[in-house]
Amino acid sequence: MLDKAVHDTAWELLEASVMHFRGKPLGTVAARDTIVQELNYDQVFTRDFAVSAYAYLLADKPDIVANFLLQMVRLQRTERQLDCFRPGEGLMPASFKVKSVDGEEHLIADYGEHAIARVAPVDSGFWWLLVLKAYVRSTGDSTLAEGDEAQRAIRVLLDLSLSTRFDMFPTMLVPDGSYLIDRRMGVYGYPLDIQAHFFAALKMAQSLLVDNEENAPYTEAARRRQQHLAYHMRTYYWLDLAQLNRIYRYDVEQYGHNAANQFNIYPETIPSWLMDWMPEQGGYFAGNLGPARMDFRYFALGNLLAVVSGLATNEQADAIMDLLRARRDDLIGDMPLKLCFPALEDRDWMLLTGMDRKNRAWSYHNGGNWPCLLWLLAAACVRTGATDILEPALESVGPRLARDDWPEYYDGRHGRLIGREARRLQTWTIAGYLIAVQLAEDPSGLNRLGFDVEVQAASCGVEGAV
């Protein structure tokens, strides 16, 4: 069962990861590994800190979160750009660090221009919105969110996310590696993980905008886009046995409005593994959908975020949990949670990752297991009442993570090995675990994170954990 000593250690480690700026706590560094080369893991990553922020909010320690939220507003770019070498208007940084110059501390932010492969963070602004909403909900204090700075930041984010470009889909078109999966992995185009996050962010933005004349068109645009996006995702991304049967018998080359096969998906592209793997009961959102392209891989982040944010209908949310039950070994494994399934192998790996050694099959982003997602698994289980999934998933992870020094990720089909290049003392692994334990003990905590969905679980019987 869950272990008090592990829990206390996790809190000590989380506190030890805090980075200060001019005397105030501002965020948590990504990892504190002293053995593996640092690269940029000594920085505060926006997406990683979002997990720490949730842990701090659930523990009634909101100060660090407030400081982070305000600082991010100041780091957001607000000038319209025609210069491709400058971060565009609305962008929030992927990460930042503190640098001392002549005894004075400054923040140096990275908008992707220093990152490996120069990937821009599409998700930073989304995380900011999600954390802002959680802050308001859990503290009951809306002064920060209703202030001019934050309101403007929300509008600028919406300008960036809602402006029309070259396509006419409600989904958002992004380059490869623009979020948690920040390496080339064939997740360019319209990846589910981004779409689910986009939906959640729009929902938060709509509820955070103050009711006034300047905000009115933004509130309305966010509302409308959510509706279109939800319809698109629920209809075209959804996969279960019935839908697979439909795709299998699709006609192709259909022109005009009445086409059933809107995206011209060729049935031959259904991978053979899926025909046997799809359970009788259960389903999930496909990994990507675009012209003549359906990525049939399962991605945990997008599917679980869809459950927690309400992008999935109640039936779809239950079906995703059924899939996790039916394919437990593949999707949860020895160490929760498989980031994507199945791994790209052989020629697919060569072509889609560019022969990325870090993303070999069943490693890292390419089918590795990520304990930082434990919080999201817990949140989805709490939302759907799936305590039968959560309890065994949490059963022995605490002591194991502690023994392994809180690694960034695990490798192997079932996640049995510590990731080959995993950082130790990885902060979001620690925070993800803490949130999961807390939600298991008190499911109503999910409301304090601001997702505004009906919570179906009762406590998971992990008393004494916290």
User: Phi and psi (nearest 5°) for 290?
Assistant: -155, -170
Check residue 356 for interaction with ligand GLC (CB under 6 A).
no
| Single-letter amino acid, residue 360 | R
Check residue 120 for interaction with ligand GLC (CB under 6 A).
no
Minimum Å gap between C-beta 113 and ligand GLC is 15
CA distance linking residue 405 with residue 419, whole number of Å = 12
Instruction: Tell me whether residue 45 or residue 296 sits nearer to ligand GLC (CB atom).
Output: 45
Instruction: Tell me whether residue 182 or residue 411 sits nearer to ligand GLC (CB atom).
Output: 182
- Minimal CA–CA distance to 317: which of 391, 389, 381? 381
DSSP secondary structure letters along 48-71:
HHHHHHHHHHHTT--HHHHHHHHH
Minimum Å gap between C-beta 82 and ligand GLC is 29
CA distance linking residue 209 with residue 152, whole number of Å = 9
**The tokens 């052989």 sit on which residue?**
346
Instruction: Tell me whether residue 107 or residue 259 sits nearer to ligand GLC (CB atom).
Output: 107
Instruction: Tell me whether residue 180 or residue 435 sits nearer to ligand GLC (CB atom).
Output: 180
Instruction: Tell me whether residue 16 or residue 275 sits nearer to ligand GLC (CB atom).
Output: 16
Check residue 30 for interaction with ligand GLC (CB under 6 A).
yes
Tokens at residue 135, please? Answer: 């802050």
Q: Which of residues 214-233 bind ligand GLC (CB under 6 A)?
A: none
Q: Which member of 7, 28, 32, 48 binds ligand GLC (CB under 6 A)?
A: 48
Tokens at residue 414, please? Answer: 């079932």
DSSP secondary structure letters along 238-256:
EEEHHHHHHHHT---S--S
CA distance linking residue 14 with residue 426, whole number of Å = 9
- Minimal CA–CA distance to 429: which of 450, 452, 405, 412? 405
Minimum Å gap between C-beta 316 and ligand GLC is 26
With contacts defined by CB under 6 A, name the span among 39-47, 127-135, 306-314, 349-357 that binds ligand GLC. 39-47
Q: Which member of 182, 240, 295, 411 binds ligand GLC (CB under 6 A)?
A: 182
Exposed e or buried b per residue across 399-425, where buried means at least 16 C-beta atoms within 10 angstroms of its C-beta: eebbebbbbbbbbbbbbebbbeebbbb
Q: Which member of 26, 180, 343, 460 binds ligand GLC (CB under 6 A)?
A: 180
Q: Which member of 7, 32, 47, 155 binds ligand GLC (CB under 6 A)?
A: 47
Q: Name the closest residue to ligand GLC (Cβ).
A: 30
With contacts defined by CB under 6 A, name the span among 9-17, 42-50, 101-109, 256-264 that binds ligand GLC. 42-50
Minimum Å gap between C-beta 172 and ligand GLC is 18
CA distance linking residue 416 with residue 344, whole number of Å = 19
Which residues in this chain contact ligand GLC in the complex, by CB under 6 A?
Answer: 30, 41, 45, 47-48, 180, 182
